Structure 1
């Protein structure tokens, strides 16, 4: 029988092996007791299996409140364990929302636990292929941008509110001229009254096309089309008509079904923005780890996934950023290339390039800098140049300080931004 797997970190005052069995039953064949018509044959066919239980440390206090335990007077010690379960594919089928409900649904509300975190997922190849694939992914994104090797250097249109459609177009033209490969909207600027997509997309793409005619380079712009599903489809059609190559959506707030519908309606690169992910992940004993999170969204067919940035402005430790980037380029399929482009952002500049390259070991990534480009003392073009010079140096095994003796843009970036870090 074909099965998919999920692993969890749990905390409980009970025997973790017994809690694992409760988890398996709750999310597959039954409830807290056998119900009418539930035969041994049906249970054998539909019940999830406990593959392993590895006990960890214990704690004197619970990580999460639990009224179920309080009503029964149950106290610690609270035992932590890693649980691995296998679920029958036939229970779910190629239904992404139901798959998510199975691996990350009522488990969080179980009375037996004071901590529950989905950490990772694995799907057999035939089951993975039943879901959506990226339309562009790593290879397609490189082809669309003309960047055959090295990182894609990108930036974000800031400020994210207030600019008119024409002002946004002017800024996009300046960023194209600065030498970028990729430009994206901010996640909180989608279809505002002061710069609606119906006006902003043509205004931006006019500059992008003009730049392509002059230079031969078509810059990829990720227009934020986050909205209700029908509106996103209309926005994507507009981007296509204007010659665009990419759209962006806030994954958590659009939902799996909307992203699947969008994916199936367009060949545009789909830039998956994970804003809000911290609500799922910042507590170590609650939520969803990034490996499992990115698996679910890759099954919706996204082409790019945000992983934040090393030494950046957000709360994540660098280890999580690195693991996330590696997860994105780890194939889920053994027969198809379904890798997606990890997008680094948040506080990035030339000085964070060495850590990024040392941690990832490759340049199959999108390296985005807002202030690191726009605030360079010699302007955006010098900001882009400083980042490219930094990447060329580290990929050649040279220190930034050494490269800065030959590259003025890099030298000024290190002098200016280095004071702030």
Structure 2
């Protein structure tokens, strides 16, 4: 039987095996009591199975409040464990929202549970093929940009929001002249009154197309088309008509269905922004870990995925960023199709954070996006981009940034201005 395996971190004052069985039943064929029609044959076909329980530690008090626990007053302790449950794919079919509801859903509301985090999902290869693959992925993105070996060096439109289309186009012109590979809108700039997509896309693409005719290089611009589903389709069509190659969407607010609909509608690269993910991930005993989260959205057919940055302005540890990047650079399913996506590093990045980024990814197949690292370089955006390329050249040759900076003025100025990595 083909099954999806979900791994959870659980806390409960009740016997772990009992609560794990409750979780499996609640999310498959059963409920809290046996019901009419729940035959052994049906259970064999549709019931989820608890595969393993690994007890870890315990706490004297519940991590999360539960009115059920408050009423029942169990003695404790509150045991914690890793639990693996297998769910038959036949219960789900090709249905991403139902997959998400199955592996999470009401599990977070079960009264006996005082802590629950969905850590990871194992997706069978045959089941993976039922969903969309990336339209561009790593290879297509590189081919579109004509960048074969180095990381994709990019930046973000700043100020985040408030500029008019002509002002944004002027900034893009400056960045294209500087030699940037990739530019993206900020996640809060989608279709604002002051710079609607209907005006912004033609203005920006006129600049990008001008530079392509002049240099043969076409910068990839990720236009933020986050919106309701029909509007996103229209926005993607506009980008395609103007000669664009990429659109961006905020995953959590468009949802699985919205992202699936966008993928089936457009062949453009989809730059997936995970803003809001911290609400799911930051608590150690509540929500969803990155591996499970990105697996669900990988099934929508995205091409690039944000992983934040090492030493940046966000809460992620270096280990969390590393794990996220390597998850993106691995096939979702063992023996499945090549559905790798390009990890997008951002948040406080500059030439000095490139060494640990390359070490984390163990690959140059990544987007390295610097806002201030390019736009705030003391010698201007041209030198900001040059500092990234100089840093990569030094690292590829096996040297250190401090040593290499002696003969590389843009890198030296970055190290002097931004300080130690």
Q: Could you say which TM-score interval applies, normalised by the shorter chain?
A: over 0.9
Equivalences for residues 36-115 of structure 1 within 5 A:
36-115=36-115
Partner of 2:375: 374
Contact residue 187 and residue 224 of structure 1 kept, 8 A: yes
Contact 1:133 1:299 survives alignment (8 Å): yes
Moved over 3 A (4+): none
**How far apart in 1 are the matches of 2:337 and 2:149?**
21
Q: Which secondary structure state, in structure 2, belongs to the residue aligned with residue 244 of structure 1? A: coil
Deviation, structure 1 residue 76: 2.3
Distance in 1 of aligned mates of 2:176 and 2:152: 13
Cα displacement string for residues 372-391 of structure 1 (whole angstroms, at most 9, x for unaligned residues)? 00000000010011011112
Q: Which residue of 2 aligns with 1:390?
A: 391
- In structure 2, distance between residues paired with 1:113 and 1:91: 24
Instruction: Return the offset for 1:335.
Output: 4.2
Structure 2 CA distance for aligned equivalents of residues 361 and 325 of structure 1: 9
Distance 2:143 2:25 in 1: 47
Q: Distance in 1 between matches of 2:405 and 2:60?
A: 53
For 1:259 and 1:335, how far apart are their aligned partners in 2? 21
Q: Which residue of 1 aligns with 2:160?
A: 160
How does 1:274-285 map onto structure 2 within 5 Å? 274-285=274-285
Partner of 2:15 in structure 1? 15
Return the offset for 1:36: 1.6
What root-mean-square deviation, in Å, do the aligned CA atoms of Structure 1 and Structure 2 show?
0.9
Q: Write the mapping of 1:290-301 to structure 2, written as runs, cut at 5 A.
A: 290-301=290-301
Aligned equivalent of 1:353: 354
Q: What is the CA deviation profile of residues 159-205 of structure 1, one whole-angstrom value per residue up to 9, with x for unaligned ones?
A: 01110011111111111111111000000000001000000000000
Consecutive unaligned residues of structure 2, counting only runs of 5 or more, are none
Q: Which residue does 1:147 correspond to in 2? A: 147
User: 1:35: Cα distance to partner?
Assistant: 1.3
- Per-residue Cα deviation, 1:61-120 (whole angstroms, up to 9, x for no partner): 211111111111124211000000111110001100000000111110111111000000
Q: Does 1:175 align with 2:185?
A: no
SS in 2 for 1:79: strand
In 2, Cα distance between the equivalents of 1:199 and 1:240?
Answer: 14
8 Å CA contact 1:224, 1:248 repeated in 2? yes
Preserved CA contact (<8 Å) 1:132 1:299: yes
Taking structure 1 as the reference length, the TM-score comes to 0.99
1:253-285 Cα shifts (integer Å, max 9, x gaps): 001111101100000000000000000000010
**Alpha-carbon distance in 2 for matches of 1:336, 1:114:** 38
Q: Secondary structure of 2:419's partner?
A: helix
In 1: Cα distance, 2:289 partner to 2:395 partner: 30
Asked if 1:337 is matched to 2:338, the reply is yes
- Could you say which residue in structure 1 is the equivalent of 2:411? 410
Partner of 2:207: helix, strand, or coil? helix
Between the aligned partners of 1:28 and 1:278, the Cα distance in structure 2 is 28
Whether contact under 8 Å (2:351, 2:414) holds in the other structure is yes
Partner of 2:119: 119
Q: Is the 8 A contact 2:225 2:249 kept in 1?
A: yes
- Superposition pairs of residues 197-276 of structure 1, within 5 angstroms: 197-276=197-276
> CA contact under 8 A between 2:125 and 2:337: conserved in structure 1?
no
**Separation (CA, whole Å) in 1 of partners of 2:286 and 2:403:** 45
* Distance in 1, Cα, partners of 2:58 & 2:394: 47
TM-score between the two structures when normalised by the length of structure 2: 0.99
CA distance in 1, matches of 2:98, 2:177: 46
332-341 vs 297-306, greater mean Cα deviation: 332-341
* Alpha-carbon distance in 2 for matches of 1:269, 1:111: 42
Equivalenced residues, count: 420
Residue pair 2:128, 2:336 contacting (<8 A) in 1 also? no
Q: Secondary structure at the match of 2:407?
A: coil
